Amino acid sequence: MYIPKAFLVEDRAQLFDFINANGFGILFSTHNNSPYASHLPFLLDREEEYLYSHFAKPNEQWKDIEGQEVMIVFSGPHTYISPSWYETDQSVPTWNYVAAHVYGRIEIINDQNEIIRSLEKLVQKYEKPGSSYKLNESNKMFVDGLSRGIVTFRMKIDKIEGKWKLSQNHSAERQRRVIEQLEESKDQDAREISALMKRNLLL
């Protein structure tokens, strides 16, 4: 990923926090000699530095994915930045956003117990606190049956890149102008970018 120095994020804890909060990613690989992508929910094991997920078995991306380097893209909030917010009209529009690219090699998981454990952890991560839904003995046979229709995998994180494009290449005064405009927006992404810019400006 092209990352100017001003936008580079290298802190692994910060990147892992971001992935954990924005875990629905896009897995890119080469399938049948062509680019191929799947949108998937991911579970991060921070200590072992693995990402876990699964394909629907009819999605043939899994059939030739082992052994090749793949990329998973995680995207966060993003928003348009108008040059009308600046103190001069000698500028152009841009887009602020945060994203992480993760690289590694896929390992297919065949052990049924490990498959079920990974599904349990995925459900625990994405179910709301207090939810009554769990994978347990009450639905074990049903889940075991459905699990035969997926291909579970994990990926060891070999490399991770983070890009926080938050107007850091502009003056502090201009960044404050952008923050003020974004704070007035009704768009959730715009307000989240505003909060990130404000925190970044105070660091």
List pLDDT tens digits, range 75-116. Answer: 999 999 999 998 877 788 999 999 999 999 999 999 988 888
Checking 2-7 for CB contacts under 8 A at 24+ apart, the result is 3/161, 3/162, 3/163, 4/169, 6/168, 6/169, 7/163, 7/164, 7/165, 7/166, 7/168, 7/169
Kindly state whether residue 26 falls inside one of the protein's structural domains: yes
How large is the C-alpha radius of gyration of the chain? 20
Q: For residue 150, how many C-alpha atoms fall within 13 Å in the half-sphere facing its CB?
A: 20
Residue 123 belongs to a domain with what CATH number?
A: 2.30.110.10
Name the pLDDT band for 24 (thresholds 50, 70, 90): very high
**Structure-token pair, residue 32:** 């049948």
Kindly state whether residue 192 falls inside one of the protein's structural domains: no
Kindly state whether residue 197 falls inside one of the protein's structural domains: no
Q: For residue 117, how many C-alpha atoms fall within 13 Å in the half-sphere facing its CB?
A: 9
Separation of alpha carbons 201 and 203, rounded Å: 6
Task: Provide the pLDDT for residue 141.
Answer: 60
Kindly state whether residue 203 falls inside one of the protein's structural domains: no
Task: Provide the pLDDT for residue 105.
Answer: 97
Task: Provide the pLDDT for residue 132.
Answer: 67
Domain carrying residue 44: 5-171
Task: Provide the pLDDT for residue 124.
Answer: 85
Kindly state whether residue 118 falls inside one of the protein's structural domains: yes
Kindly state whether residue 183 falls inside one of the protein's structural domains: no
Number of domains in the chain: 1
Q: Which H helix or E strand runs over 39?
A: strand 34-41
